[in-house]
Structure 1
Amino acid sequence: MLPEQLSSIFRTKQKSYKMVLILCLIDQYEQTNSFSFPLSAIAERFLAYFQENSRQGIKVDSPPPGIATYWSEFNLSKTLTLLKTPFDALSSILEVDYDQKIVSFRADIANKLDKDVILELKEYALNELQNYNEKLGEPKVSLHSALSEIMNSYITARSQTFAGHQLGTLFRQTIPEQLRSLSYMDPSYKIQGSVGMGNWATIPWIAVMDKRITDTTQHGEYIVYLFSEDMESVYLTLAQGVTVPKDELGKKEGYQYLEQKANELRKLLPLEGMQKDDGINLTSRSGLGRDYQVSTVAYIRYDRDALPDDDQLLADLENVVTNYKMYVDHVLKNKGNDEEMPPKEEKGSTSLSSLNVPEQIEQIQSYISRRGFHYPNGLIENLYLSLKSKPFVILAGVSGTGKTKLVKLFAEALGATGDNHQFTLIPVRPDWSDPSDLLGYKDLSGAFRPGRLAEVLVEASQPANQHKPYFICLDEMNLARVEYYFSDVLSVIETQEWKQDRIVTSKLINRESLLPEDQSVYGDLSIPDNVYLIGTVNMDETTHPFSKKVLDRANTIEFNYIDLQQYPSLALQEEETLLPVHNSFLRSEYLQLVDVYADYTDLVHTTTEKLVKINHILEEIHSHVGFRIRDSICFYMVYNQRYELLTPDEAFDLQLLQKILPRVQGSNLSVKRVLLKLLEGTLGRKLSSFSDLMEDASNIDQEWNDDQEEKKAKHPLSARKIAFMLRRLEEDGFTSYWLS
């Protein structure tokens, strides 16, 4: 068996030079029985191999570009220069004395070279050379062409339709297939590229993952090409997944963990030819680009205007793959001994989904579609972002649009069902008039009789369940006055604060009023950060309106526009195995604007400036918003930018629709004027007939409601809703967001 120093000398191969050189050394040894050889003799044998095979038409490596086109043009002097590269690559076993013009095996290696070892080394070199030469006839992977195309066309592509774009095919199929064909890629590697999920990613990437340690870019270590936001450069990196460390440890501790891990890997691996510093520069903004920079262990930077040739790019990739293999071997060898990421929450024994946010959203959509239900585009992304911003959402619409079913299917897709008690449906009754119907009450003996909400909160608060999301659907919640039966919960939601890395609220039930036997169970009852409240409401005249106290604390998602010509697919679809998610997928990470301001300063300023303009309009009817709504909208926009689910205009459109327009109602001219000014903002242009519309807005359709105008509108969903509210005002003398 070959000694360890010899068994891996061909692991990294840019060309066949090393294999040919070793064979030349062995041939010379067999003639002289010496382990020290004249450089000229080795150079002659080396050149003769390539010239003779080329003359016979046998495929061999071409000479280095820029030196000669054919081996017949090569001479001994050029060959001696060329041999410096494989000599350096084999410096662990060879020594070269350029003054004496001698090359020899290192003394510690020569002592191990008996006849059996030499024979095995010769067979090793011959096999590697044969396998290498057989691949020379295969189509060559051109990383240079692929990377150039991406950097030269991506910025333009961002302004084009996302679906079906050729760059998506290049990232998801063409490049991964080419990389899989490389001889040094393990067949079990997962190779994946991404330009975003539904919208163009700010930082597109192509990753190579060893599935034994990770199959997602969300956590673990992997190789990844990261493209800078300005497309001036691309980085070949050894990187770490950042999503799970940030979600489970919090941003500050998550970054500290990643930086510590990066330093450990830099000491463990050779990482020759790679930068081992913090100089990677993907973006000047915060968000995913900043996360990627923190998580990078080492990198090689390529600038768009100085991109190396394919030989260099492929050699660099093989070098990084070699380091990655060394790391994976180390992890597997020391499994159970290495320090793992310190968990903040007990994960339990159940396997959890390792999908990143866009992948998980796509799986939720697929799950709902397979069950024959269809919802408007962007609704699932909106529901996710709304819950992430604040764990209280209202689904509004006419009866029969599938609001309750949406909550149930969304929860099921995340592993929360009625059977495991993580999904609870609570129908609201018209006679509910105080919180006891939800939370519970004391009977005549003084014993506490918990309501259904209290029972769920008790279970969700158990330490063993804190990593699981719990969904509570308050069905038809406006059949009774929400302010009466839900007031305690609304007040407590606003008391959220960080305590020992968890989000907690104040207590829901007065501990002192309970009997001793009830105090241990219900005395400390609060709303834990793994409980999500979703109310459904029917928008008609039979229900109670919402006060601003409720609207300030919720995202109100309306879907009244139903396409009845959506039919279930008759094709058989394979059932997917859905893994439950960790609560970090949904849990809020920001409670105050200061939590995001440093990292998302520009986005906070841009969003706030838009709200200031809207507030100037709303002040006329005393419906302007305060800090609570500003912060909530900023959080929504930050999460959207971070996970790249919607375009910025689409996200702000939804926040206008959900946080601003529900506040507008009334019957006077001031309300009409406010709606028309808001309409101008959503259309992105001035209304040419503003004064005429103030007199009579019944023809608002002519100004707005046609397909071409809708496509041109900056915020089409809000514009369409405003147009509807104006028509109701004109026809009925009163308007409200809640009128169907």
Structure 2
Amino acid sequence: MSLPTELSGIFAHKQKAYKMVLILAILQQMEDKRQRIVQLNDVKRNFLSLLQEREARGESVDTPVQGISRWADVSFSQISQTIATPISALSSILDFNPEQQTLAFKEHFYNVWGQEVLDELQEYALQEIDLYYGRQASNFTIREALINVMEKYPAAKSEPFRKNALASYIRQHIPAGIREYPFINGDPNLKVQASAGMGNWATIPWIAIMDRRITESTQSGEYIVYLFSEDMSSVYLTLAQGVTEPNKQGKPESYKYLRNRVQEIRAVLPLHGLRKDEEILLTSGGLGRDYQVSTVAYYRYDREVLPSEAQLLADLEYLVANYQQYVEHALQIHVGQENSTVPGLHTSLPQLSINERLDAVKTYIHNKGFSFPDRLVENFYLSLRSKPFVILAGVSGTGKTKLVQLFAEAVGATSDNLQFTLIPVRPDWSDPSDLIGYKDLSGQFRPGPLTEVLVEASKSANRDKPYFVCLDEMNLARVEHYFSDMLSILETQQRRGDRIITDVLIRSSSLGNSEDQAKYGQLHIPDNVYMIGTVNMDETTHPFSKKVLDRANTIEFNYIRLDQFPTERSADGMAYPAPNAFLHSDYLQLLEVYAEPNKDLIEDATRELVRISNILETIHCHVGFRIRDAVCFYLIYNEQHGLMSRDEAFDFQLLQKVLPRIQGSNQAVKRVLLQLLEIALGTRLNKAELEEDASALWVDLSNRVETAKYPQSARKILFMLRRLEEDGFTSYWLS
């Protein structure tokens, strides 16, 4: 197994081996006492004993406390200051109680790890100690190598390239030295290569580490690479993508593809402490710009303040660990597609852009014999990314549930692998226990169907997989009664490290024994769970409150064409399992994106929303910040991936986030609908005359809608107006 994200990089950025020794000392004490919380004094004794035993065996150890030459001469009372440093450095996973003088792994981590994770953590600590001391014995230093290149390269470029000593040093000596590092040498799949040019000096020399299973060339795929700035004032250690192959598509398409891949890769890796922007300053143009766009994350080192050898090695080792995690993730996706391992895997690994994935989804759905309206799949995708709660509404039999199931299948989520769950809602559901669970008469917690999904999705091995929950016939019961807890918890989303999580879902008082507390006590709604409700709007169902509508995109399925017949299947209709990065929400607050290149888009959309909200205010239906932010996120994701025009995207949001709020029977509602119709059509109307009789609007209806600025919203508003005139009452939901 692989370690959970919170443990995978804990030994990076180490100056000494104290962090590894501390972990071993804690695990030893936990094993002796069979408990999570251990006394600090016991850990100190273990810590000192481990170092003394290593020294006695003649193995390498760090220098003891100041003024003492051997660990054998260090007393228990002298170890406090030494052990305080690693305790502080590991505060992300450890709890230190200064009053009771105890240490423990954080409870919410410990409860989900299990003994298997603790055993692997012990092995990881032992390996890291050996790797750390193995590095110290090497004569090669990456710091000296980087300095040599930066100091000598400008002058060397004026010399003949052939048989040049510096060129040979870069191509041969540096890769040979890096290969000796235990964390490189221990992986037969890793290849180290460097270049100063091909026949002539390169503008930007590089040193790359590649995993042969996904790429053996810097022209394509993903790899680690040191990139030197043209003026040799700095060097960047980066996780990057090859740009040569993507550039064959042309620069605009290439940059769109590379940026999409950057977002996908960032979403599945910790990358703590690395920069994630496009501020790599290599050259003024050419490949320099390509490298800026293609870089996933990086460390920057300036020649005048180059870090110590220990820091440079810690950074490299940590980035290699992240790279290996990414490779394993990519290989799992490929194996899921092909159901087998293939020699030369790098030639066939799926590297799909967002647009390519959505095209694959539509092809998969088509090959299953289903046809949905244009832009529906793109709209459904953008709605899920903006907020992981979507409502599909419409008359029975239009394929709402099937859309959810087929979309999930197309990205690798099925009922067989537990990534797709259909939960039929019952009319007698009256509180959250029907969905989340309850404590029975014996005091044991009985999990509901949604809780079981959340437990599965929260497992460390599953955090990079999307999980879909379809609440079928969601409004057979009153949504506010059984779903209220979920709606409230969804609003508590916050960033924790590289994840987005919510507050705890189940209160301790609702749980039973210690086993229940351990399994469900720290359960959150993770950011890889997507909930979709299907609803039929008729006399047998319940309407939605604004609390529900504010938190969801409502996609309507009322406009269907019965004369669409099955057509010939496409040759490429396979499912392409996608990482959670494909659907993962990048933003929680508008502040995170209120800058170029999104600033103008946000301000334009907000001006339009202000205009609409001022109209709605007259019937107390105006929108708040939650809707503004959700609309802006939807538009930003659309812009990033070029899925539809800006007006098309805003049309969907007006239809799905604003119009569902409107209902009533008075003249004020009619005035609001007429004013909104002007905005949707993009033309002026004689509203005074239409307030008396709006029947003129039904004439040439198709042409009005076809030429509208927001055609889908215009069609819906016209429908609502006609209902108001003919029935004396109107609502978005009337079918």
TM-score under structure 2 normalisation?
0.59
Whole-Å separation in 2 of the counterparts to 1:469 and 1:735: 38
Name the structure 1 match of 2:666: 668
Q: Of residues 642, 649, 656 in structure 1, which corresponds to 2:640?
A: 642
**Which of 484, 489, 503 in structure 1 is aligned with 2:486?**
489
Q: Residues of 2 paired with 1:651 and 1:253: CA distance?
A: 34
Kindly indicate whether residue 332 of structure 2 is the aligned counterpart of residue 350 of structure 1: yes
Aligned counterpart for 1:421 among listed residues 407, 418, 422:
418
Q: Secondary structure, in 3 states, of the residue corresponding to 2:680?
A: helix
Measure the CA separation in 2 of the matches of 1:212 and 1:387.
Answer: 28
* 1-structure distance, mates of 2:510, 2:163: 84
Letter in 1 for 2:444: A
The answer to whether residue 244 in structure 2 is matched with residue 246 in structure 1 is no
1:597 to 591, 594, 614: 594
> Are 2:656 and 1:653 equivalent residues in the alignment?
no
Q: How does 1:147-546 map to 2 (within 5 A)?
A: 220-223=241-244, 241-249=258-266, 256=275, 275=286, 292=293, 341=323, 347=329, 350-352=332-334, 353-514=350-511, 515-546=513-544
Deviation of 1:245 (Å): 3.3
Q: Which amino acid aligns with 1:292?
A: V
SS in 2 for 1:350: helix
The answer on 1:725 being equivalent to 2:720 is: yes
Q: CA deviation at 1:541?
A: 2.1
| Aligned position for 1:564 | 562
SS for the counterpart of 1:223 is coil
**How far off its partner does 1:731 sit?**
1.0
CA distance in 2, matches of 1:390, 1:490: 12
Q: 1:437 to 1:345 in 2, by over 3 A?
A: farther
Q: Which runs of 5+ in 1 are unaligned?
A: 1-87, 96-107, 109-207, 267-272, 281-289, 298-333
Report percent identity of matched pairs. 54
- The secondary structure found in structure 2 opposite 1:376 is coil
What SS is found at the alignment partner of 1:347?
helix
Q: Choose 239-248 or 409-418, whichever is displaced more.
A: 239-248
Query: Cα deviation per residue 1:203-242 (whole Å; 9 max; x = unaligned)?
Result: xxxxx9956769xxx97212279799xxxx9799999933
Q: Distance in 2 between matches of 1:628 and 1:257?
A: 27
Cα separation, partners in 2 of 1:291 and 1:623, compared to 1, 3 Å: farther
Aligned to 2:729: 734
Cα distance, 1:346–1:729 mapped onto 2, change above 3 Å: farther
Could you report, residue by residue, the CA deviation over 1:217-275 in whole angstroms, capped at 9, with x for unpaired residues? x97212279799xxxx9799999933333344369979836769886xx8xxxxxx975
Q: Which amino acid aligns with 1:429?
A: R
SS in structure 1 of the partner of residue 360 of structure 2: helix
1:605 counterpart letter in structure 2: E
Aligned residue pairs total 478
The answer to whether the Cα contact below 8 Å between 1:249 and 1:343 also exists between their aligned partners in 2 is no
SS in 1 for 2:701: coil
Tell me which structure has the larger Cα radius of gyration.
1
Contact 2:660 2:733 in 1 (8 A): yes
Determine the C-alpha separation between the residues in 2 that align with 1:241 and 1:491. Answer: 37
- Does structure 2 conserve the Cα–Cα contact (< 8 Å) formed by 1:262 and 1:295? no
Residue-by-residue CA offset, 1:642-673 (whole Å, 9 max, x unaligned): 01101000000000000000000000000000
Q: Contact 1:245 / 1:254 at 8 angstroms: preserved in 2? A: no
Alpha-carbon separation, structure 2, partners of 1:588 and 1:447 = 35
1-structure distance, mates of 2:398, 2:374: 15
Corresponding position of 2:308: none
Task: Please show how residues 112-123 of structure 1 align to structure 2 within 5 Å.
Answer: none
Letter in 1 for 2:681: L
Equivalent position amino acid for 1:718 in 2: S
- The answer as to 2:630 corresponding to 1:632 is yes
8 A Cα contact 1:396 1:403, kept in partner: yes
Maintained 8 Å contact 2:423/2:471: yes
Q: 1:641 to 1:239 in 2, by over 3 A?
A: closer
Using the size of structure 1 for normalisation, the TM-score is 0.59
How far apart in 1 are the matches of 2:577 and 2:676?
A: 42
1:283-329 alpha-carbon deviations (Å, 9 max, x no partner): xxxxxxx97387899xxxxxxxxxxxxxxxxxxxxxxxxxxxxxxxx
Change (3 A) 1:433 1:355: same
Q: CA deviation at 1:393?
A: 0.1
- Aligned-residue offset at 1:501: 1.2
Point out where structure 2 has 5 or more consecutive residues left out of the alignment. Answer: 1-156, 169-216, 224-238, 299-315, 335-349
- 2:617 and 2:440 mapped to 1: Cα distance? 48
Q: Are residues 345 and 442 of structure 1, via their aligned partners in 2, closer, same or farther at CA, if it must alter by over 3 Å?
A: farther
The Cα shift of 1:735 comes to 0.4
Q: Distance in 2 between matches of 1:247 and 1:659?
A: 27
Report the counterpart of residue 686 of structure 1 in structure 2. 684
Shift of 1:512: 3.9
What is the CA-CA distance between 1:561 and the residue it aligns to? 0.7
AA at the equivalent of 2:720: M
Tell me by how many angstroms 1:736 deviates: 0.4
Deviation of residue 525 (structure 1)? 1.4
Match of 2:553 in 1: 555
